[in-house]
């Protein structure tokens, strides 16, 4: 898909004001493959990566700083080369389109969730379905925890079952990303502890 075909096109003003600070990208992302280099050179990725102010859960501000924190966790999470490459791709893309997300709460249009925009972008560069699935569903475990905490067990179980059905043999990949993502900023750690408990028979708990 070329730029003109993107349905989530930022304004021309945003594109013209993209920060092309190569040193910052190298410092915080340090691309390790041609694919990663292609992604971080994309103006649409750069707009999202350099967006953000300090906020609850993300005191670091800009998305690129959050990506850096998650990548540091990825290095601790696994020694499996393929899984590490998958986790890096998920990390680099997962939150980069938050600036396009509908801000109305409660949400009225889930098609405008940042994960859907991220998935659309990812499909332009990535064929690995496991990576695409985790990018799309990366917040579902958190939402399942929120539902369980609110006493909505049926909704929580529905979300967990969707993860099981969609991810199948890639639940471990999802779990590792969820943990890498959760152990950043000033995020609550309760969601990951809960997920490890309810999914203990389906994942290999990792401590880092």
Tell me the pLDDT tens digit for each residue of 93-128.
999 999 998 777 777 777 889 999 999 999 999 999
Domain count, the chain: 1
Model pLDDT, residue 184: 97
When the pLDDT of each residue in the chain is averaged and rounded to a whole number, the result is 90
Q: Considering the domain boundaries, does residue 205 fall inside one?
A: no
Q: In the structure, how many helices (H) and strands (E) does the chain have?
A: 12, 0
How many Cβ atoms from other residues are within 10 Å of residue 30's Cβ?
12
Q: Considering the domain boundaries, does residue 185 fall inside one?
A: yes
- How far apart are the C-alpha atoms of 88 and 80, rounded to whole Å? 12
Model pLDDT, residue 57: 81
Q: Considering the domain boundaries, does residue 38 fall inside one?
A: yes
Q: Considering the domain boundaries, does residue 204 fall inside one?
A: no
Domain with 144 in it = 3-198
User: Using one digit for the tens of pLDDT, what is the confidence trace for 152-202?
Assistant: 999 999 999 999 999 999 999 999 999 999 999 999 999 999 999 999 999
Q: Considering the domain boundaries, does residue 166 fall inside one?
A: yes
When pLDDT is averaged across residues 41-46 and rounded to a whole number, the result is: 92
Joined tokens for residue 30: 């340090």
CA-nearest of 28, 49, 31 to 114 is: 49
Q: Considering the domain boundaries, does residue 203 fall inside one?
A: no
């Amino acid at each position: 898909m070329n730029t003109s075909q993107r349905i989530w096109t930022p304004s021309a003003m945003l594109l013209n004001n993209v920060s092309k600070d190569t040193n910052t990208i190298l410092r915080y992302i340090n691309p390790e493959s041609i694919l990663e280099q292609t992604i971080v050179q994309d103006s649409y990725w750069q707009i999202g990566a350099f967006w953000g102010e300090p906020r609850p859960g993300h005191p670091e501000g800009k998305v690129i700083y959050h990506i850096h924190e998650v990548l540091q966790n990825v290095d601790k999470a696994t020694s499996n080369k393929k899984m590490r490459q998958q986790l890096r791709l998920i990390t680099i893309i997962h939150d980069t389109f938050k600036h396009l997300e509908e801000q109305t709460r409660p949400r009225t249009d889930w098609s405008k969730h940042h994960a859907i925009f991220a998935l659309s972008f990812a499909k332009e560069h990535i064929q690995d379905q496991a990576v695409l699935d985790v990018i799309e569903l990366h917040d579902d475990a958190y939402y399942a925890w929120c539902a369980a905490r609110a006493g909505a067990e049926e909704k929580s179980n529905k979300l967990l079952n969707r993860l099981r059905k969609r991810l199948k043999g890639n639940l471990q990949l999802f779990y590792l990303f969820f943990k890498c993502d959760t152990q950043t900023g000033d995020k609550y750690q309760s969601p990951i502890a809960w997920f490890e408990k309810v999914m203990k028979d389906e994942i290999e708990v990792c401590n880092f």
